[in-house]
Amino acid sequence: MSENHHPKSVLQCEPETLSILYRDDYFLAVHKPAGLLVHKSPIDKHETRYAMNVIRDQIGQWVYPVHRLDKPTSGLLLFALSSQNAKLLNALFTNQDIHKTYTALVRGFVMGDRQVDHPMKEIAAFKNKQYVADKKEAQIAITNIKPLTYFELPLSDGRFSTSRYTLLEMKPRTGRKHQLRRHAKHISHPIIGDVKYGKGEHNRLFREQFGCPRLLLAANKVEFAHPITEEKIMIHCPLEANFSQLLDELEPYARAISY
């Protein structure tokens, strides 16, 4: 090899990281972006990226998930830093002593605060096992919802000359799989961007008009009494940039509604 010849440099990619919202000796809270799985799932066998692995490599320590966010949902995600601490947090979830708040953009005007009390059948991890889940009784599922802002766009969804939407605060009192998405569908106000439970014409409108293909659901606050220190913990998570920017674009279409 001549002295003027050098091997080609190998491009070094920066490792993926997550924004840490809270950390102590026992627990950790991070901001999970939309499109990232919490952990390995039989539903997405092709995926190789998981929040659990990203944060483990980031902090150099094993983490234990204590709840989950759907892959298309962004926002606050809690981990324990030991298996024993995971059991403590899981107990809080079981006893409904952890209070979570979500933000969602849904179709139509949701008039007034309300509680959605609609039991749900279990969703099996594997489709070929769903018949077993269907034989079980529906589980209690309760969500409190509160309208925050109304928007009316001068765009047709194919049925009406304008399209109406509500920015909601959603507080689940139980933790069923896809609970918020299924409850939103149940009250005929599906979440925008939900390809499973939503409305195709509204999802398409947001993709084409705003370049927004994501599910507009985000976990933005969690409150609980620390099971070890007994301190009252309240953790906030900002909306992901693409969600926040969309709301900025919608602001000129905000409407004051009386009911």
Supply the residues annotated as catalytic. Answer: 70
In sequence order, what are the residues at sequence separation of 6 or more whose Cβ sits closer than 8 angstroms to the Cβ of residue 48?
none
Spatial separation of the C-alpha atoms in residues 155 and 157, rounded to whole Å: 7
**Do residues 51 and 38 make contact, with C-beta atoms less than 8 angstroms apart?**
yes
Spatial separation of the C-alpha atoms in residues 172 and 190, rounded to whole Å: 16
In this structure, is the dihedral angle defined by the CA atoms of residues 11, 61, 178 and 237, taken in order, positive or negative?
negative
Spatial separation of the C-alpha atoms in residues 68 and 65, rounded to whole Å: 7
Spatial separation of the C-alpha atoms in residues 193 and 83, rounded to whole Å: 35
C-alpha neighbours within 13 Å on the C-beta side of residue 106: 28
CA R_g for the chain: 21
